[in-house]
Structure 1
Amino acid sequence: MALLHRAELRPTKLELLAAWLPGRAWFGGEAGADLERVAAYRFDDPAGEVGIETLLVRAGAGPIHQVPLTYRGAPLDGAEPWLVGTCEHSVLGRRWVYDACGDPVYAAALASAILADTGQAEEYFEVDGRREGRAPSMAITVEGAHRADVPQIRSIDRVEDGDPVRIVTESVELAVVRRVGAHTDLPGSRLAGTWANQPTPLPLAYASLR
């Protein structure tokens, strides 16, 4: 479950992405257009230390881009190339925001979601000592074999950035679609998503055992 806070972020997530996305080779947004949040989904970190959120965003009439992010309370060693930026959270303090494709906690969560169909995290607020749920802005589904024995992922061997971005670990290989609607036939079990005005599932990511 993902505990959310009614808090202010400075800069906001969209402001961070608006500065970071145009420098990505796979970005195809409309030049000068404001960045729009289309939908999002979250995964749980079993240790409860890292926030894991994937945003679907669009700039103007450009394609919808999928941007997985991890939020950490301290820098991740060796992950400087994946740092999107830092922000001040009015409840949690400074947060380091990473392109999650370079974060092993995200790789482990994505592998479990696809190979074991663990689903997205349930989101809630704490209100006067009780939980108040928030409805998800999109649904995710899995196509492919479900396993109960997904190998643990503690590190990433390499990341091949691009569209899709390939995340290679010792036991699992993952492919994350950057421009949603592309790459509909990659090998492995598939994670797909639907959201408002998109009732047909579109591929988001793939996973296969090595």
Structure 2
Amino acid sequence: MALLHRADIRPSKLELLAAWLPTRDWYEGGGDVTRVAAYRFDDPAGQVGIETLLVRSGDGPVHQVPLTYRGAPLDDADEWLVGTIEHSVLGRRWVYDAVGDPVYAATLAEAILAGTGQAEEYFEVDGRREVRPPNMGITSDAPVADPPTIGAVRQVVDGDPTLIVTDALELGVIRRPGSVAAPAGATLTGTWDDVRAPLAYAAPR
């Protein structure tokens, strides 16, 4: 489960992305960045926030941007740093393009291969949980009972799709859902508004 905070965040996530997205070769857009939908994964250790935003800029296509939020810099990951934010509850947070974060790779593989789904989001209100309904759905078309351990992340190839190469698997993150067909195999599919499109896939190495 993902505990949310009613907090002031500066700069906002969308402001951060508005500066960072134009530096990506796979980005197509112009104008203000707006949120379309989002989903989260759980970090089993409870240390890293993992959120994937679907955003668009102007009349451009929807882009998938997975992010991780950390309370300290991630070693050897400067090239994946989107920026830092000041969170009124949690303090300074380092925000990474999640494809370069091994915690994201492990949770993405579990979502695709084991069908773990998205984290339930909730607020703490007067000592009780107030659940926030999801604004999109994710499903796996090929969950297995005993998915392999992915091992270490060996390489990340940025693009559309962005490829995360691990010891056991190659994970593909589709940056513009609907623009790239997922190859045959285990696929994570998203549904939002009236759209259904592949988001990511996994293939054994």
TM-score by length of 1: 0.95
- 1:46 equivalent in structure 2: 44
Partner secondary structure for residue 55 of structure 2: strand
For this pair of structures, how many residues does the alignment match? Answer: 205
- 2:198 equivalent in structure 1: 203
2:172 corresponds to which letter in structure 1?
A
How far did residue 154 of structure 1 move?
A: 5.1
Taking only the aligned residue pairs, the percentage that are identical comes to 69
Partner secondary structure for residue 21 of structure 1: helix
* Contact 1:105/1:154 (8 A) holds in 2: no
Q: What is the aligned counterpart of 1:88 among 86, 89, 92?
A: 86
1:190 corresponds to which letter in structure 2?
T
* Contact 1:104/1:153 (8 A) holds in 2: no
Q: What is the aligned counterpart of 2:140 among 129, 139, 142?
A: 142
How far did residue 147 of structure 1 move?
A: 1.8
2:104 corresponds to which letter in structure 1?
Y
1:28 corresponds to which letter in structure 2?
E
CA deviation profile, 1:53-86 (whole Å, cap 9, x unmatched): 0000000010000000000000000010000000
Structure 2 CA distance for aligned equivalents of residues 185 and 196 of structure 1: 21
CA deviation profile, 1:71-113 (whole Å, cap 9, x unmatched): 0000000010000000000000000000000000000000000
1:13 corresponds to which letter in structure 2?
K
Q: What is the aligned counterpart of 1:174 among 163, 166, 171?
A: 171
RMSD: 1.0
How far did residue 43 of structure 1 move?
A: 0.3
- 1:192 equivalent in structure 2: 189
Q: What is the aligned counterpart of 1:151 among 125, 148, 152?
A: 148
Partner secondary structure for residue 180 of structure 2: coil
115-124 or 149-158, larger mean C-alpha shift: 149-158
How far did residue 187 of structure 1 move?
A: 3.4
Structural mapping, 1:1-210, within 5 Å: 1-29=1-29, 31=30, 33-144=31-142, 146-153=143-150, 155-198=152-195, 201-210=196-205
The unaligned stretches of length 5 or more in structure 2 are: none
Partner secondary structure for residue 157 of structure 1: strand
